[in-house]
Structure 1
């Protein structure tokens, strides 16, 4: 189900949508797949090669880049940004503009049932374990264990939570 006028949705023909996917206005989707019963909020961009599982909720203003895989039942809060390049540059050493051939896409996996709070930044090449919770505003710089609760900059396990 798509909400809002058709001209407010930018969904490329190479997007794979599951059954009963709810997409709000002002989204930009290309080259990605979205599983059954997922909800995509307003002003979300999901890039090529990203995979969204079933029953996920992606809140407004979030950015899911190439190389990100979300398992089933994942919650992404408002204004969450994923990063897929450890060494971002606009140009090469010779001054020429970089192209896709000039960088390595760092893959990130968010396992089933994990939750990422609003305003988080998730660096590339990480795994956020099943059922883990990332507190709002956190910067995740390393893997998060399944079931762990982490918060802060850099995100660290909270006392009493699982951390390994």
Structure 2
């Protein structure tokens, strides 16, 4: 069953997966695609053609501009902004109002399991790796590797996180999750899970 609050504005041309919940004052634009069990918080905006995988959570007042693509299980914190214009201007160089034809949209891609903290801003075009965490208030201006923990303005890697979201601890050349015991090894500037 899909649950849409009466004050939400959901386009008839949007594809909404089973189990989705769309809260008060949220807007889901034409051509957007929400996977199963997605939650769209109060006042959140999902732009035209944006794609969300199953089990995504977009918290209150987050702005997900097209052509963003979110993988399965992505968390978008309150008031997060995913931009879509590298050189924003309201008018062209001759002073006329820009139209849709004057705009070259670029998107933010967020891979499976990643989390974006409250009020963070991701400046398109960037890719956030699987299971990565962007700290609250960070401004992401370049790609983030899988399992990276980034913070600051501009965001820089300050550590690694596991699938449980907790910072990993170094242990004899690998990284270990304190909750699950899963081990990760560094590979090509990122991490990947390794078997014992």
Q: Given the two structures, how large is their TM-score scaled by the length of structure 2?
A: 0.79
Q: Would the aligned equivalents of 1:52 and 1:69 in 2 still touch at CA under 8 Å? A: yes
Match of residue 111 from structure 1: 111
Counterpart mapping for 1:90-129 below 5 A: 90-129=90-129
Structure 1: segments with no counterpart, 5+ residues: none
Q: Would the aligned equivalents of 2:25 and 2:44 in 1 still touch at CA under 8 Å? A: yes
Quote how far apart the aligned CAs of 1:60 are. Answer: 0.3
Match of residue 41 from structure 2: 41
Quote how far apart the aligned CAs of 1:3 are. Answer: 5.1
Structure 2: segments with no counterpart, 5+ residues: 162-185, 191-196
Quote how far apart the aligned CAs of 1:82 are. Answer: 0.8
CA distance in 1, matches of 2:55, 2:159: 30
CA distance in 2, matches of 1:154, 1:70: 22
CA distance in 2, matches of 1:141, 1:153: 9
Quote how far apart the aligned CAs of 1:101 are. Answer: 1.1
Q: Alignment length, in residue pairs? A: 162
- The structure in which a higher percent of residues are strand is 2
CA distance in 2, matches of 1:119, 1:143: 18
Greater C-alpha Rg: 2
Counterpart mapping for 1:14-33 below 5 A: 14-31=13-30, 32-33=32-33
Q: Given the two structures, how large is their TM-score scaled by the length of structure 1?
A: 0.94
Match of residue 12 from structure 1: 11
Q: Determine helix, strand or coil for the equivalent of 1:158.
A: strand
RMSD over aligned CA atoms reads 1.4
